[in-house]
Structure 1
């Protein structure tokens, strides 16, 4: 997933030019924050970039552990934390049972509404093979803008076995399918430079 985020960001020509200028000059208003976080995605391989920047961008905060609050902390409001008074005269078995009973519904409610706390949360969980196909079509088109769309389809393996015996129908289908992938790629690129991925809705 994160590899495709990185790849589609590399497809934006404006961001590519901004990276080439070292994150300065024209485009600062649009790309400055993105550059501060993602850096020059054209300068290294994905793995090098991932270890240098990517993991931090997409990491969730460290998981909270059960601990005893200090008197000062007990008054701090946090909707994801329950401050519970526990009579220590009870046995551990009774404490466990009563805490579970008391907080079961609250814990389930928080889990159901919990949102990612990463700086760049993934917007959805698409089929990775579809992202790969869309990226392949986009790159093939960028390299061969003189080809018909059905020729691009043949080049990247966009085929329909049911239409193999009807050349005209197959070409129409391939043309439409490649055009669809190109539209999706454009939307992905438009949103990825806004720090959102993978989003395919039309930008408003």
Structure 2
């Protein structure tokens, strides 16, 4: 549906609180948490683990982290953008050059929703806000309010969220805790390629519900046999969890190389 421009109150003076700032919005909380208080997000997402850096709660951090595990993309970065993933490199650049936050500063627009604010050609120093009737009303109201407050210099550049129009939209919502566990198991597999799935799970922090063996060393009593069967099931459960994480990681890494994350269609 073609957006409809409106003037009058819809033309907002461009005396921004931060010169040159752009009103970027995202479907999920961005990693730079200082500005979250001025968006619809009530706060940052839950941390993936205790004492993790705050930006690691963001899905955008994990997009970057999983892309770094894609071997074809690594090869393309090593060839300065030449290779099978040259098309993706043109957008994402070298994810091995510098820190995540440095990369984010230069590439966050890849994940931002399309702006409905633009220069008004006939009115210097003003902006024209365009309304797409297909968007939810509360998203439009939030964006107009944020722009007006910034124009009055009473809040820093905020980030409001609209329905996804991003160049690279988030495929689905996954907790940072799960993404951390998935990538941790994957990394352990790369450094311990011969370890069993059970051993990898233990290294990753999975805890089997094991029962203690008889302190008298009995192995043939009904109780001892019951404990043995229980512990066998517990070990199989850990192995199955580990293998699910590995399958999920493989899909995340493959699909992020096609510009989709976090995407895993089979467990």
Normalized against structure 1, the TM-score is what? 0.70
Residues 1-204 of structure 1: matches in 2 within 5 Å?
Answer: 1-24=59-82, 26-27=83-84, 31-53=85-107, 55-64=108-117, 80=132, 108=136, 115-160=163-208, 163-165=209-211, 166-201=230-265
Whole-Å separation in 1 of the counterparts to 2:135 and 2:72? 45
TM superposition shift of 1:167: 3.3
TM superposition shift of 1:5: 0.5
TM superposition shift of 1:180: 0.5
TM superposition shift of 1:110: 10
Flag the structure with higher strand content: 2
Deviation digits for residues 155-189 of structure 1, max 9, x if unmatched? 111124xx221432222111111101000011111
Structure 2 unpaired stretches of 5+: 1-58, 123-129, 140-161, 212-229
Residue 148 of structure 2 corresponds to which residue in structure 1? none
Flag the structure with higher helix content: 1
Does the 8 Å CA contact 2:63/2:256 hold for their aligned counterparts? yes
Instruction: Indicate the RMSD between aligned Cα atoms, in angstroms.
Output: 2.6
TM superposition shift of 1:115: 3.8
Deviation digits for residues 91-128 of structure 1, max 9, x if unmatched? xxxxxxxxxxxxxxx765897xx741211111111122
TM superposition shift of 1:37: 0.5
TM superposition shift of 1:14: 1.0
Normalized against structure 2, the TM-score is what? 0.54
